[in-house]
Amino acid sequence: MNFGLIYVFLKNKGIVFFNKFRTKTYLAKMKNKSQILIKRPEGTPEMETWKLVENEVPKLNSGELLIKNHYISLDPAMRGWINSSRSYIDPVELNDVMRAGSVGEVIQVEGQTKFKVGDFLSGWGGVQQYSVSNGEGYFKVDPDKAPLTQYIGTLGMPGMTAYFGILEVGKLKADDVVLVSGAAGAVGSIVGQIAKLKGATVIGIAGGKDKCDYIVQELGFDGAIDYKNESVFKGIKTHCPKGIDVYFDNVGGEILDNAMIFLRRNARIVICGAISQYNNTEVKGPKNYMSLLVNRASMQGMVVFDYAHKYGEAFTDLATWIKEGKVKSKEDVYEGIENFYDTFLRLFNGDKMGKLILKVKENND
């Protein structure tokens, strides 16, 4: 008997009812597949970094929720979380479920809880089918207002990062020339579109013709540089003849160094990520950093969590822009907890378009 399907049926009919007894029977038979961190990688993570395990879903304590994860967010930042050192957030502990953003549905509660059964929530569900939580760090989302996947994309952390990164850290002005790397990615694509709709000239750097065509033809960027097939230096020189006012960096390495050559007076570099360096044991520092002095420019790091008190404002703006067709996004969805590793690697080899998502299989068997 498939309790999952029965649950879905009941929920669709609006008849969701669990009594305590029923719930526990239900749970006793439920299995939870998860990806456990078992090794700290050096360089590019090997498959043995994580282990797929299947355990019974634990019994809920009072105040806890059981959340069925629908979509799991795969983000470059995850590479940093599995290093041993504390970064802006504690590392994932060995033998813990791999940390990940997620969106899912409350399917059971115990006692007094922050959310109720049937609520859709976004939060830190981890790379697993089911999450147990007291609700902290979760917030309710409305699947009627936007597809669930957008709550871990343009209306989630990547969107918030883009919004506060370009507007607050980048101090965007209408006549700025903006260069963004990782321009077809979840953050970069939104950065560019926000900058465009604020009046800036926007050039994106992306890998391959498809991505470059996408950001220009579908997202309305003013130009694209294909770092896999052309010189980034020449590309910037051609597309930004007067130089760059804001460089929004998701990649680091050679591209950051090239961008630095073209900084204009008082330019701002937003350090959002450095995906080209995450798997290096020795990071390549930007050798052209003295361009900051020559051009009185600044380079500033950001972590999106600092803007949590203003997520509402960003959410409203982004939702409006999406509705108006001014901000578009693409999602690249792969399926199955067991396929986490292969999907994760796509973050680093560039083999994905837009927001990378792992879908939890509908039928959890």
Binding window for its own copies (CB under 8 A); candidates: 136-144, 195-203, 291-299, 350-358: 291-299
The answer to whether the CB of 279 falls within 8 A of the CB of 44 is yes
Number of C-beta neighbours around residue 307 at 10 A = 19
Quote the least distance from Cβ 186 to its own copies, whole Å.
17
Instruction: Show the tokens assigned to 79.
Output: 């590479």
Examine residue 38 and tell whether it contacts its own copies (CB under 8 A).
no
Q: For its own copies, what does the binding mask look like between residues 79 and 118, x meaning CB under 8 A?
A: --------xx------------------------------
Give the CB-side neighbour count of residue 219, counting CA atoms within 13 A.
34
- Rounded CA gap, 208 and 343, in Å? 19
Examine residue 310 and tell whether it contacts its own copies (CB under 8 A).
no
Query: What is the H or E stretch that residue 320 is in?
Result: helix 311-323
Nearer to its own copies, 134 or 298 (CB): 298
- Local structure of 223: helix, strand or coil: strand
| Single-letter amino acid, residue 282 | E
Quote the least distance from Cβ 141 to its own copies, whole Å.
27
Nearer to its own copies, 183 or 299 (CB): 299
Examine residue 286 and tell whether it contacts its own copies (CB under 8 A).
yes
Rounded to the nearest 10 degrees, how much is the dihedral formed by the CA atoms of 62, 337, 85, 47? Answer: 150
Examine residue 136 and tell whether it contacts its own copies (CB under 8 A).
no
The answer to whether the CB of 349 falls within 8 A of the CB of 276 is no
Examine residue 277 and tell whether it contacts its own copies (CB under 8 A).
yes
Binding window for its own copies (CB under 8 A); candidates: 53-61, 121-129, 205-213, 272-280: 272-280
Which residues, in sequence order, are bridge partners of residue 223? 203
| Single-letter amino acid, residue 319 | A
Which of 271, 275, 322, 353 touches its own copies by CB under 8 A?
271
Chain positions contacting its own copies, by CB under 8 A: 87-88, 252, 257, 271-274, 277, 282-303, 306
